[in-house]
């Protein structure tokens, strides 16, 4: 009997991967090995079943715990309590749910009302934090399939067209195949789901009605978009041939980190280092704002590391709104080093002037060591 590969190895994740990391890994692997993207490739088909099985177990906390403890034996019917004979997780709501939720309309799947479409296309776009604040138009290259230029998408070499009912699916546009315990339905590979085949196929596209092409598209990214946002562009995916609607284009937005600002929803945080003397005496500092302007912040005398000052309405854009969040200035008091001889003398003079009682100048320091003294005296 063939040895099953480790579920974590199947998804290419560590054994400590979070649920979100598992989902991302599954999406990536499933896109790569989906049968509709690898027609006739038995290795890809087996790999696809393997990663589905792995994800079905690992996404469930109880099943994952059982697998971590017992391995595949937890699901072979010998451990009890896990579904009896074999891998019981792929009943109703199992593999079918994964197809519906994870792929849905991809790979030329069905849309509402049984309408056939071409494959959806996925691209990722990197933008800066300032671009996410103001919104931006990005140009991206998309490798897709478009209507054949020679036959204008008809798939026929005859100007008048001409097609007949597909002999493989008998016009249904789909075929069924047994995969282990499952009956899987997929687009007909002969007619690409249209239910028709051309009598005299176009030589450029071999009758498919589509051809590969790299297009440069302009993507409008709105202000306030967050990292990981997915933008759908209806009808900008792959063409599906005659009588088949194009798929959709999905743009995954990745917002790059910034060297000054950190974003938390609609709020922005900015860490401002202060010299010890500035924090002790008080000062006023000028800080940048994400919109390119500047603001002055008054720092009162005696400010400590970790204290925060809020600038209302200076934060991030709110998606589809004119509102803005707030900006928070986080103070970090910097201890001087590489002192000159004179600087050291002044600090030693300050320490001497304070004497043994630092309760006024450094109340937190004095309070802590008073508690330490009481602790040892109590012992």
Domains, in order of start, for the chain = 1-104 (1.10.287.110), 117-162+199-257 (2.60.260.20), 258-335 (2.60.260.20), 343-379 (no CATH)
Residue with tokens 């995954």: 252
Please identify every stretch of the chain with a pLDDT value under 70, giving residue numbers as ranges: 1-3, 74-116, 159-162, 178-182, 192, 241-243, 356-361, 366, 379
Q: Residue for token digits 């009605």? A: 209
Nearest Cα neighbor of 46 from 88, 92, 10 is: 10
From CA 46, how far away is CA 52, in angstroms rounded?
A: 10
40 contacts: CB under 8 Å, gap ≥ 6: 189
Burial of 118 per CB tally in 10 Å (0-12, 13-18, 19+): buried
**CA–CA separation, 171 vs 350, rounded Å?**
93
Binding residue positions: 148, 151, 166, 169, 188, 191, 202, 205
Interval 148-191: pLDDT, tens: 877 877 777 776 666 778 888 888 878 887 665 567 777 777 77
**Which positions make up the binding site for Zn(2+)?**
148, 151, 166, 169, 188, 191, 202, 205
CA 214 to chain CA mean position, Å? 24
Query: Can you tell me which residue has the tokens 């103070």?
Result: 331
> Rounded to the nearest 10 degrees, how much is the dihedral formed by the CA atoms of 297, 300, 306, 307?
-80
Per-residue model confidence as pLDDT tens digits over 273-327? 999 999 999 999 999 999 999 999 999 999 999 999 999 999 999 988 889 999 9
């Amino acid at each position: 009997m063939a040895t099953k590969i480790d579920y974590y190895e199947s998804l290419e994740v560590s054994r400590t991967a979070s649920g979100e990391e598992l989902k991302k890994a599954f999406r990536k692997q499933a896109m790569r090995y989906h049968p509709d993207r690898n027609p006739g490739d038995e290795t890809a088909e087996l790999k696809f079943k393997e990663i589905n099985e792995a994800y079905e177990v690992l996404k469930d906390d109880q099943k994952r715990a059982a697998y971590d403890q017992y391995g595949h034996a937890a699901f072979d019917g010998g451990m009890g309590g896990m579904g009896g004979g074999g891998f019981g997780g792929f009943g109703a709501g199992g593999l079918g749910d994964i197809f519906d939720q994870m792929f849905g309309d991809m790979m030329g799947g069905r849309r509402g009302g049984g309408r056939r479409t071409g494959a959806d296309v996925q691209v990722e776009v990197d933008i800066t934090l300032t671009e996410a604040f103001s919104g931006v138009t990005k140009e991206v290259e998309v490798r897709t399939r478009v209507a054949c230029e020679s036959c204008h998408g008809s798939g026929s070499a005859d100007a008048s067209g001409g097609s007949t009912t597909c002999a493989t699916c008998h016009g249904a546009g789909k075929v069924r195949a047994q995969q282990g315990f499952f009956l899987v339905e997929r687009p007909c590979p002969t007619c690409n789901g249209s239910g028709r085949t051309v009598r005299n196929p176009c030589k450029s596209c071999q009758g498919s009605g589509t051809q590969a092409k790299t297009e440069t598209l302009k993507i409008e990214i709105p202000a306030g978009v967050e990292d990981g946002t997915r933008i759908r562009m209806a009808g900008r995916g792959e063409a599906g041939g005659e009588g088949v609607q194009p798929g959709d284009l999905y743009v995954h937005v990745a917002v790059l980190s910034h060297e000054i600002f950190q974003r938390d929803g609609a709020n922005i945080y900015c860490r401002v280092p202060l010299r010890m003397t500035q924090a002790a005496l008080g000062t006023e500092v000028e800080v940048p704002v994400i919109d390119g302007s500047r603001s002055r912040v008054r720092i009162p005398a005696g400010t400590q590391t970790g204290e925060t000052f809020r600038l209302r309405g200076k934060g991030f854009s709110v998606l589809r709104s004119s509102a803005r969040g707030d900006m928070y200035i986080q103070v970090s008091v910097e201890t001087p080093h590489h002192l000159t001889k004179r600087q050291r003398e002044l600090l030693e003079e300050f320490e001497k002037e304070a004497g043994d009682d630092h309760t006024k100048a450094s109340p937190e320091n004095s309070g802590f060591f008073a508690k330490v003294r009481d602790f040892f005296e109590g012992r």
